[in-house]
Structure formats: structure tokens, C-alpha cells
Amino acid sequence: MTTGAAAGRVGIPGAPRRESGRNPQVAGTGAASVTGRTEQTHSETERLMEEIISRGNMMAALSRVVANKGAPGMDNMPVTALKGYLHEHWPRIKEELLAGRYRPQPVLKVEIPKPGGGTRMLGIPTVLDRLIQQAVHQVLSQLFNPGFSAHSYGFMPKRSTHQAVKAAQQYVRSGRRWVVDIDLEKFFDRVNHDILMSLVKRKVKDRRVLKLIDSYLKAGMFAGGIVSPRQEGTPQGGPLSPLLSNILLDELDKELEKRGHTFCRYADDCNIYVATKASGQRVMASITSYLSERLKLTVNQAKSEVNRPWKRTFLGYTMSWHPKARLKVGEKAVTKFKDTLRKICKYGRGWSMARTIKEANPKLRGWVNYFCLAGNTTIFQELDSWFKRKLRAILWRQWKRSHTRANNLIKLGFSSDAAWRFVRNQRGPWATAGKFNMHRLLTNTYFSKLGLISLQEQYLRLARVS
């Protein structure tokens, strides 16, 4: 089951059918049109639960959850089992939702390492709760998204990281050559439930929906066989968390707009662009106070700073100091990417070269697609050269014995004497891979024939298209 039509054949028993001509669509974060209306009356927002469990909305949510796959929650139910579960239990679930009695299960606590050190906590809901959250998200996004700031780019339909980075570049080009880089400390873990729910209530009048959202916020955290209660935070991992984070941080956006600031926000990453260092320091102090007093959020002082844009990174990019502020790939992004390729190369010692290249290509393609806004090809050239050297080192390790290495070098064009002299140099794989003779024998064409894509060529192709 991979499409809305397939979900319709499965059916969610007892779900009200929608009127014809009001087909839901789900795209990106699920914030695409569900009702076809951009505004709803007060009476309609008092009956949002009926809209949420309507057949068309549930079918769209089901398709989205199935397409996203994802890991099971604390009940270990896989996405593939959701279809059968709904056949049997949907009438009861629908009745509980309409009566305001539905209670979500605790989320499964998962910690993943962060690139800069430390861990990020995820809360994985059960697949049933992911379905219901997605259905709620699709309806609530129609109420809230139209009112969100144009300076907000995260988890929004038809907005992207590239748009945020380009906007930041334009601010710097216009003369705002200082940035107030604000990092919120453990934002998703520290969201104040009371403040968030008060903001949700501005547009949601259906008490059943409010109760359901509140129950998702307070759902316990399951780890090590123990369920811990939660009084704050909206852990990443559920479909509803991105929308709720935008609802809360839209208050920050509106405050910055009221003060006349130019800024870009992507989720909890917020950069404010100003003309002088002194004004940046004043903004940092006043916004830190606002976040603490009004939204009960803490600014991470160690990671936040007033500095030049070319000394900071935003969404992986930094800039040059020139008036045109050319975009560049941040150093941390390069380091993280190299670490990813190193892991592939480590496993690749036991693979064929063709398989290693096949595993690496999606990573290479995705990275260059994201960083295609960079202003020159130097970094792509350097990474191409570095990765091919890693591949040559893999081959040298795989050949292992001296006679195997000598025979392979002879096959590639070395004379017998030259091959044995090269083998006896007693250098390690990385040093050997950097030798001119290895480059001469294991050429770019050799790797291209095995299917390896070139970061530089991909970048130039994307640059021509744009």
C-alpha cells in the first residue's frame, strides 16, 4: 500500500466520507491543502475533530505514514501492520477521538549522536499515533501556516533551506554585515506546554482536539522498560512536533518583525542581520531576555554569538567577506561529510569496488545537491581528489600480499621491475594511494567506468541549470 488510492481500498471503517471535489493532498511536511479553504469560521474550528477523522484526510495521512516507513514505537508494531490493525480497531479509535477519550501511548526514547558532540533525543510514537498526529497536522496546518512569518523557512510548504540561505546572503549584501546568531538550548526538549497550548487555543476551539494535542505533549517517554512522565518539551520524531514548534517560535518572528529586524529562521536556528556590532549586542541582550521571560526558552550562550557572517555558519553554509558575500560550504559540513565517506570506505574494505561506489554515490549526489549554492568549485575538486585517494587505499588493502599487488600493478601497465620496486616501498595504504604512479594507473576514467559520480561535474551541471 503506497498511494492514497490504495489506502482508500483498505478503507478506515466508519470514517465519514468527504464531499466530492475536496480531495486532500499531502506534500512535504503534510501541510498541503486538506479542506481547500484558507480560512475557517469560529464554528468550524469547534468541529475540527470531524475534519481530522474525515475519510479523505485519514486516507491522505495513512498514505503519508506508510510512505515515510519509519521505525516501530514502543509497541513494536511496524508500518506494514497498520493496515490490518485499522481494519479491526478503527471504529473504536474513531469513537474515542470523537468523544475526546483517546489516549496516546508513550513515545520510545531514542538518542542519536549530534555532529558537534552530545546527543539529540528523539521520541518515536507508535505507528497509530503517527497516523493520528499526521491527520491532525494536515488540518491544523491550514489554520496556522498562512499566518506564519515570511522569514520562517523550516517545516513549511514551498519553503526550503536554500531559500533561507539566499535570503541571508541578500541581507549581508545589503550592508548588514554583522549577524546575531541565536542558538536555543535543547529547544525541542524545553518547550513550555502551557505557553504552547495558549497559542494553539487562539485558533483551535474544538476542546477534543486541544485535549488530544495536550495528551501528545504529555505522553510519557519509554526507555529501558520504564515510562517517565513529561512536563515539558515536544520531542522530535512525531509528525506534529514541527508544526507545534513553528506555532511557538512564530511569536519570536512576530516580535522581530515588530522591531523592524531582518532575519532568517529555520526551525530553532535564527540569524538576525544588523549593521554594527553594537546594535547586534543590544539585539542579542534584548532577544535573550524576551525568549526567557515570554517564551520560557533558554539561549545557549556557548553557541550563540554576535559576529561577522563569514565567521559563522547557517544551515551548513558560510560566506566570504567580499561585498557580494559569496556562499561557501562550512568547515563542519565538510568534516561531517568526510566522516560519512570514511564509514563507507571502512565497510568497503570487504566489498568490491563497484559496490563501494554504489553505496557512496547517493551520499555524494545528495551532498552536492544541497551545497550547489556554493560560489566556486574548489571544495568539490578537493573532495573528489580526497575520496578517490580513499578508494585507491581500499584497493591497496584488498590486494594485501606483495605478489598480488605486483601482479595487479603489472596488469595496469607497470613493468615487472617497476611494479616490485613500488610494492617494496613499505608505505601504508594512504601514503601509497597518494603516489603519482597510483594516480596514473587508477585514473579518474577508471573510477568513472565503475560508476563513480564526480562532485565537481555534478556541481557544474547544477550551476548551469540554475
C-alpha to C-alpha distances, 331 to 113, 264, 408, nearest whole angstrom: 19, 21, 37
SS3 letters across 215-250: HHHHCCEEECCEEECCCECCCECECCHHHHHHHHHH
Q: Pick from 311, 324, 323, 327: which is nearest to 166 by CA?
A: 327
Question: Residue 319 and residue 313: Cα distance in Å, rounded?
Answer: 8
Q: Which residues pair with 75 in a beta bridge?
A: none
Residues 159-176 have pLDDT tens digits of 999 999 999 999 999 999
Question: Residue 123 and residue 49: Cα distance in Å, rounded?
Answer: 24
Phi, psi (5° rounding) for residue 87?
A: -55, -40
Mean pLDDT of 438-465: 90
Query: What per-residue confidence (pLDDT) applies to 412?
Result: 83
Query: What per-residue confidence (pLDDT) applies to 425?
Result: 79
Is the separation of the CB atoms in 375 and 463 below 8 Å? no
> What cell numbers appear for 412 in the block?
595496469
Task: Point out the least confidently predicted range of 231-235, 334-338, 361-365.
Answer: 231-235
Residue 457 contacts by C-beta under 8 Å, 6 or more apart in sequence? Answer: none
Question: Residue 198 and residue 209: Cα distance in Å, rounded?
Answer: 13
Q: Which residues pair with 271 in a beta bridge?
A: 181, 264
Question: Residue 124 and residue 187: Cα distance in Å, rounded?
Answer: 17
Residues 253-294 have pLDDT tens digits of 999 999 999 999 999 999 999 999 999 999 999 999 999 999
Residues 426-438 have pLDDT tens digits of 688 999 998 888 8
- Assign 70 a pLDDT band (cuts: 50, 70, 90): confident
H-type alpha helices, 80-126: 82-99
Chain centroid offset of residue 461 CA: 25
Question: Residue 101 and residue 96: Cα distance in Å, rounded?
Answer: 5
What are the CB-based long-range contacts (under 8 Å, 24+) for 169-174?
Answer: 169/319, 169/325, 169/327, 171/262, 171/264, 171/273, 172/273, 172/309, 172/319, 172/325, 173/323, 173/324, 173/325
- Assign 13 a pLDDT band (cuts: 50, 70, 90): low
Residues 96-114 have pLDDT tens digits of 999 999 999 998 888 777 7
Mean pLDDT of 52-66: 95
> What cell numbers appear for 216 in the block?
501528545
Strand 119-124 and strand 262-266: pairing?
unpaired
User: Cα Rg for the chain, rounded, in angstroms?
Assistant: 27
> What cell numbers appear for 427 in the block?
608505505
Question: Residue 191 and residue 312: Cα distance in Å, rounded?
Answer: 26
Helix (H), strand (E) at residue 372 = none
Q: Which residue shows C-alpha cell 485535549?
A: 211
**Does the structure show a pLDDT above 50 at 124?**
yes
Helix (H), strand (E) at residue 306 = strand 305-307
Question: Residue 196 and residue 178: Cα distance in Å, rounded?
Answer: 31
Task: Point out the least confidently predicted range of 39-43, 151-155, 317-321, 390-394.
Answer: 39-43
Q: Pick from 45, 201, 58, 194: which is nearest to 135 by CA?
A: 58
Task: Point out the least confidently predicted range of 62-71, 113-122, 241-250, 368-377.
Answer: 113-122
- Assign 116 a pLDDT band (cuts: 50, 70, 90): low
pTM for the model stands at 0.84
Dihedral over Cα of 301, 306, 308, 314: its sign: positive
**Does the structure show a pLDDT above 80 at 1?**
no
Please count the other Cβ atoms lying within 10 Å of the Cβ belonging to residue 367. 22
